[in-house]
Structure 1
Amino acid sequence: METSMENIGTLEYVLDKYSKIWCWKITGERAVSMISRLVPEAWYGENVNEVIIPDSTENVKQIKLILDRYPLEILSKTTWQRKIVKTYAPKPTLPPIKHKLKRAKAGDQFRGKLLNFQKEGLDFLIKSSGNALLADEMGLGKTVQTLSYVATEKQTFPVLVVAPLVTLNNWEREIEKFLKKKSRNGRILESDSPSVTLIRTGKRKELPKTDIYVINYELLFKRYDDLAKIGIKTVVCDEVHNLRSKTTQKYKSIKKLAALSSVSYRIGLSGTPIYNRGSEIWPIIDILKPGLLGSFKEFCEYFCYVNEKGKAIVLENKRASLRNELQKHVMLRRKKSDVLKELKDKVRYKEVIAADTDYYLEELDKIWKKLEDEQKDAESEFSKSASYHRAIQSERQIAGLAKLPHVINFVKNIMEIEESVVVFCHHKVIHKLLHESLQEFSPVSIIGGQSDSVRQDQIDKFQKGESKLMIAGIRAGNVGINLTRAKYVIFAELDWSPAIHRQAEDRLHRIGQKNTVFAYYLIGNGTLDDHVANVLVDKSYEIDEIMDESVENFENKDKAELILAQIQDKIRSK
């Protein structure tokens, strides 16, 4: 019987007879199976259970990943040792930009107390002349730092705050809480707050004279003419990743507003300014500091390559230099682990749960057949693309339904420990079924379409402990709310964007959280969840390298791939 210490194959450095280049040859059924998953460009050798791998730095790393866990008999020991030393020799790296920041004192118009790192954030905004991207991780108080700047810098009013619809009321509350009103003669009115106009309609009409205007992104285009007349001095874009596409109306409207002669200060706020691809940072910076990254064409030529889908992806060897360029000129980025030493960790688990594969495959077959028919009948590329996206969305929903009974059991097991829990899902039908099936816990809900008052009431009940279970739509509950009462978050469905998941996690993992946050990603066995999880890993890998100095271990692409290879190996070995 084979033991875990026995060799699973051999490793040898050879001259390939066909390509005439030096390569690595691996033999052994298990070794070949595992390396084939890790190195797509490997090709089969002359014999059964033999594979040839091009000699490259990346491939040497992949082979070492296997050797660290499974023994291979190394037939070319001297060459292997030389390659390892060369591959893992320390490489020159770009030192991270360290901002020399002092703890600035907020102006008299500010009401409240800043933490030390928030005072440094205020100092950064002052030194940036109010044209900056504040990219602190979610939960570190970007709103309060921005308000402290507005209260400190000269001639910042009137202010235009552009934010997601669900956060407008929160901005109004924060303004009332942290800002004092200044009269026309310059006197500070301690008991009053600046006047605020919430713009909630797209109907064009003259706006009243107030200190601060708050509007959601979707209304910008319709109200541009009205906003252009009020003499805006400061533009604040909350959740500025909403402007990551330069072809949208909201982007074009903000671009024009930020370019008005009256505007002196432009501040972008987001803990996740990059949602899916590193190239999304260009439109944002083009608003805050036009020209810093050149034209989009120049940016792509220097920093990016175009993948098989035509998307601009930032090159791995350019990610550190892009991060340093951003930090040097426009961006302040702090992680919770850097500034909140008392904040506990955040731990992620990928939990594979059972799913009704018979139902899933039967419904999937219907979806693909319908897709085939629609593709044949499509009269344009747009129609083809639309039918494809409908099919993908349908698959996501049946994947959620197929694993729903097991999701419910998982939630019930967590609830037995009598802790507060937040469950995120994507589809309304899943939300409805979860709510109905978990009635014994009297859940509260956040879902798209709720009024602001209902939404806030549900949040307050959860935070006060009146209910221990919150069921939230992942796109409705990922911004503008505080759920620090809970330390368990469960993702019943997966979104395509890693930023959406991080925002949702950080509704719990933020200032005020006293416990380690446990995030469970429930993956339906036998569904496309596995594929979605791998896409998320790829996207996270690029984003982490641009935004932060290192990639977090749980999102390391190579390790994730190795884990999949190990799972396959265990199945084969049974």
Structure 2
Amino acid sequence: MSADLQWFIQRYPMDVSSADMERLQLGTSQFEADRIRTEEILMPDWQAPSKHGFRPGYDAYHFQKQAAELWLRKKGLLLGDDVGLGKTISALYGLAGSRYLPAAVVVQAHLPTQWVNEYIVPFTYMTAHIVDGTKPYSLPAANLYVFKYSNIHGWSDIAGTGFFKAVVYDEIQELRNGLDTSKGKAADVFSNNAELRLGASATPVFNYGSEIWNIYQFIDKDVLGPWEEFVREWCKSGPGGKWLVADPDALGSYLRESQVFLRRLRQGRTINTIPIEVDFDQKIADDAEKLARVLAQKVMTGSFVEAGVAARELDAFARLQTGLAKAKSVAVLAKMYLKQGIPILLAGWHRRVYEIWQEELKEFNPMLYTGSESAKQKDRVKKAFINGESDCILISLRSGAGLDGLQKRCSTVIIGEADWAPAVVTQLVGRVDRPGQEADEITVIYPYVNYGSDPTMMAVNAVKKDQARGINDPGLEMPAVYSDESRFKMLAKQFLKEEA
């Protein structure tokens, strides 16, 4: 603020008392010195200070050490490194051997054991405890306490004492709804009483760009100011009363210049994206049409409350009916790969759609990894898939963020149902497009129908993708989509030959 004010006064001279000018110049000098020190961290020739806390034979990469040091310098940082670049290791390197222990690590429900068994224990000397449930109990001594987003609301009082010196939010997009949720209210207490705050996500913006304001409330409340100021300076009105960021590239640049957002991209494998129109069950479509008309009429003519309820019901109904109508066609696509012994992830959302897929694909022993399975059940599914006990995981669109290990067997993803958030698909593809993947190409199949919710969702997601692109990667154009159907056609030809 001092630097901004001094810039303003140079262009619009004002009378300033000597005491105020001295304070202004001091603040500006401190800002410039801090910027120089921080920029030095990101230079290729920067040397990381020696640290203790990692086990012999394990170390962080140079770019991960840079992220850790920038976090320690700024105290609050959004680490948006691309999927597979080791944001977990960056967080652990910042905490290991530091004065910011004990620390809280907040993760999605399926990830606590992965954090502990695959990263904390093998890489570091830090001890860890997975916090169980929402009812507080006497915590055993540990350096790291691993929470789930689903249970932090029960531990606000402990966090309010300042017991946790640092807090790491893995997949921080979980907090995109801010204080409107119990986990958001709890996270606010954790952040307010911690000296260090780190948010990690390759996809911090899931929907419209204004979500970034909520994200920064848990990292650095000052950087984007109060909500009213943020909306006035950065936003424009969007559909359904939502706020869109008017210039996502400008906001993305501002966050980088403020040194509170660090993101590095990697040269991943080729993503072969194949959209394919499939048939749908006309009977399901005809049966759904009458009820859809009634709901649509309420949306247009009902009271404010009635219209809102009807709109939500219509959205949920349309998505379900669309998924059901194309479920068998999607299963046929899956069979084309499974019959050739090619492991796949088949992503969906609705339980009734999973049931159709389970029946159609039962000869291939499909396994469920959805919101209904416990963390232990999900761990078993992951191990079974990696060990070759099944070639097919029916995975919920929103259950795979942060999941590591599937790339050891799989390079093919079928998006069997669409999602309103394009970042969900980015996260899902990131489960196989990451270090350890030996295939030269990742194949992503998008079966769609010109019916129901698919056309609308595809159009809306184009806007959301641009919002996320500008904030995440300002100045970069939307990458061209690579689509090569030759392998897919060969597979289809082989499938038809065997079915004849």
Q: Which TM-score band (shorter chain)?
A: 0.7 to 0.9
Match of 2:129, SS?
strand
Distance in 1, matches of 2:427 and 2:150, equals 20
Amino acid in the other structure paired with 2:461: L
Cross-structure match for 1:465: 388
Cross-structure match for 1:257: 190
Within the alignment, does 1:202 sit opposite 2:134 as a pair? Answer: yes
Larger relative helix fraction? 2
Q: 1:308 to 1:227 in 2, by over 3 A?
A: closer
Within the alignment, does 1:107 sit opposite 2:51 as a pair? Answer: yes
Distance in 2, matches of 1:104 and 1:428, equals 49
Q: Where do residues 27-426 of structure 1 align in structure 2 (5 Å cutoff)?
A: 99-100=42-43, 102=46, 104=48, 107-111=51-55, 112-128=58-74, 130-152=75-97, 154-173=98-117, 174-181=119-126, 194=127, 196-229=128-161, 231-246=163-178, 247-260=180-193, 263-315=194-246, 318-328=247-257, 329-337=259-267, 343-369=268-294, 372=297, 381-426=304-349
Distance in 1, matches of 2:276 and 2:49, equals 47
Q: 1:323 to 1:370 in 2, by over 3 A?
A: closer
Q: 1:135 to 1:479 in 2, by over 3 A?
A: same
Which one has the largest radius of gyration? Answer: 1
Contact 1:357 1:527 in 2 (8 A): no
Distance in 2, matches of 1:365 and 1:478, equals 37
TM-superposed deviation, 1:122: 3.0
TM-superposed deviation, 1:125: 2.8
Distance in 2, matches of 1:361 and 1:533, equals 22
Distance in 1, matches of 2:50 and 2:297, equals 62
Match of 2:210, SS?
helix
Distance in 2, matches of 1:117 and 1:464, equals 32
TM-superposed deviation, 1:272: 0.6
TM-superposed deviation, 1:257: 2.4
Contact 1:494 1:532 in 2 (8 A): yes
Distance in 1, matches of 2:218 and 2:184, equals 9
Cross-structure match for 2:445: 520
Match of 2:249, SS?
helix
- Between stretches 154-163 and 547-556, larger displacement belongs to 547-556
Q: Select 2:455's aligned residue among 516, 525, 530.
A: 530
Deviations 1:492-517 (Å, cap 9, x if unpaired)?
10011011111111111111112211
Distance in 1, matches of 2:388 and 2:137, equals 44
Q: Where do residues 434-445 of structure 1 align in structure 2 (5 Å cutoff)?
A: 434-445=357-368
Q: 1:257 to 1:554 in 2, by over 3 A?
A: same
| Structure 1 spans left out of the alignment, 5+ residues | 1-96, 182-193, 338-342, 557-574
Distance in 2, matches of 1:460 and 1:106, equals 36
Within the alignment, does 1:508 sit opposite 2:441 as a pair? Answer: no
Contact 1:431 1:473 in 2 (8 A): no
TM-superposed deviation, 1:179: 1.5
Distance in 2, matches of 1:320 and 1:248, equals 29
Q: 1:475 to 1:319 in 2, by over 3 A?
A: closer
Tell me the TM-score normalised to structure 2 length.
0.81
Deviations 1:220-268 (Å, cap 9, x if unpaired)?
22321133236211111111111222333322322232222xx221111
Of all paired residues, the percent bearing the same amino acid is 25
Runs of 4+ in 1 over 4 A off after TM superposition: 370-376
Distance in 1, matches of 2:204 and 2:313, equals 27
- Between stretches 142-151 and 520-529, larger displacement belongs to 520-529
TM-superposed deviation, 1:303: 1.1
Cross-structure match for 2:412: 488
Deviations 1:318-368 (Å, cap 9, x if unpaired)?
32221122112211111222xxxxx42222222111112343133132233
TM-superposed deviation, 1:103: 5.3
TM-superposed deviation, 1:383: 4.8
Contact 2:328 2:357 in 1 (8 A): no
Within the alignment, does 1:551 sit opposite 2:482 as a pair? Answer: no
Distance in 2, matches of 1:393 and 1:501, equals 19
Distance in 2, matches of 1:384 and 1:197, equals 47
Amino acid in the other structure paired with 2:192: A
Cross-structure match for 1:431: 354
Q: 1:490 to 1:172 in 2, by over 3 A?
A: same
TM-superposed deviation, 1:109: 0.8
Q: 1:527 to 1:211 in 2, by over 3 A?
A: same
TM-superposed deviation, 1:435: 1.6
Distance in 2, matches of 1:121 and 1:257, equals 22
TM-superposed deviation, 1:402: 0.9
Distance in 1, matches of 2:480 and 2:109, equals 33
Amino acid in the other structure paired with 1:502: T
Distance in 2, matches of 1:510 and 1:106, equals 28
Distance in 1, matches of 2:295 and 2:100, equals 56
Q: 1:231 to 1:359 in 2, by over 3 A?
A: closer
- Between stretches 523-532 and 395-404, larger displacement belongs to 523-532
Distance in 1, matches of 2:166 and 2:60, equals 21
RMSD: 2.4
Deviations 1:377-428 (Å, cap 9, x if unpaired)?
x7x7445423321221111111111112211111111224332211101101
Higher-RCO chain (CA-CA 8 Å, sequence separation at least 6): 2
Distance in 2, matches of 1:332 and 1:443, equals 39
Cross-structure match for 1:63: none
